[in-house]
Amino acid sequence: MIIKTVRSVSEALNGVSDSMTMMFGGFGLSGIPENAISELVKLGVKELTCISNNAGVDDFGLGLLLQKKQIKKMISSYVGENAEFERQMLSNELDVELIPQGTLAERCRAAQAGFPAFYTPAGYGTEVAEGKETREFNGKMYVLEKAFEADFAFIKAWKGDEAGNLIFKGTARNFNPNMCGAAKITVAEVEELVPAGELDPNQIHIPGIFVQRIFQGVDYEKRIEQLTVRQR
């Protein structure tokens, strides 16, 4: 069995450099690779193209990279609660490609599965389809979307083992599974790292074949993007 464990986040990010394309799991602030993002801020890499559902908030998640002007292009589904993301987009400081959320997930999954492209009805007749091949199937029009090509995929899981097998918990099971194996190198950070063979095979969401590096993360904040409470 191949052991994928690395000793630290800095070792996990070995090979990261400027101008790379990177995937980041998570939805809002749920299931984001906090340790990997913090390390990228420390490394100061720039001109990055980031593929993520959104860009976190101003002072957390990918918002930290936006604040440091380390991101050149965001490929995402929505701006979310990030005022700096919105400001940079409207001022043309940041190249932004907004795409339908299902298309974003499927472009990740296509890369994971080794499919170069796929047809989807989402976006036909809108700006999303401009410059793309379209085709009719059974009387309905579809848009050809290409699989993503990324250098790194940064994943956050609840539990993993030394062989890279992963279990996600709750809503952290969002874009994370589809991004595993969708880049040249997949780095998984987990809350709990256990010896190989300790996980119940029936509970594993992603097998280790899709992961190249795994490490146990620390100091997770797990913030809530919008806290809504019932009035007393």
Give the pLDDT confidence of 54-74 residue by residue, as tens digits. Answer: 888 888 999 999 999 999 999
Q: 135: burial class by Cβ within 10 Å (0-12, 13-18, 19+)?
A: exposed
Rounded to whole angstroms, the Cα distance separating 62 from 41 reads 9
Q: Is 198 helix (H, G, I), strand (E, B) or coil?
A: coil
- Which tokens sit at 178? 């589809």
pLDDT above 80: residue 156: yes
pLDDT digits (tens, 9 = 90+) for 106-129: 999 999 999 999 999 999 999 999
Non-local CB neighbours of 137 within 8 Å, separated by 6+ positions: 119
C-alpha closest to that of 178 among 111, 115, 109: 109
pLDDT surpassing 80 at residue 87: yes
> pLDDT-derived band of residue 81, with 50, 70 and 90 as boundaries?
confident
pLDDT at residue 59, rounded to an integer:
87
CA quadruple 70, 76, 77, 79: dihedral, nearest 10: 10
Q: Name the pLDDT band for 222 (thresholds 50, 70, 90).
A: confident
Q: Does the pLDDT of residue 100 top 80, yes or no? A: yes
Task: Please name the amino acid found at residue 83.
Answer: A
**CA–CA dist 31, 157 (Å, integer):** 7
Q: Which residues pair with 121 in a beta bridge?
A: none
pLDDT recorded at residue 182: 98
Cα 95 versus chain centre, distance: 18
Whether residue 1 has pLDDT greater than 80: no
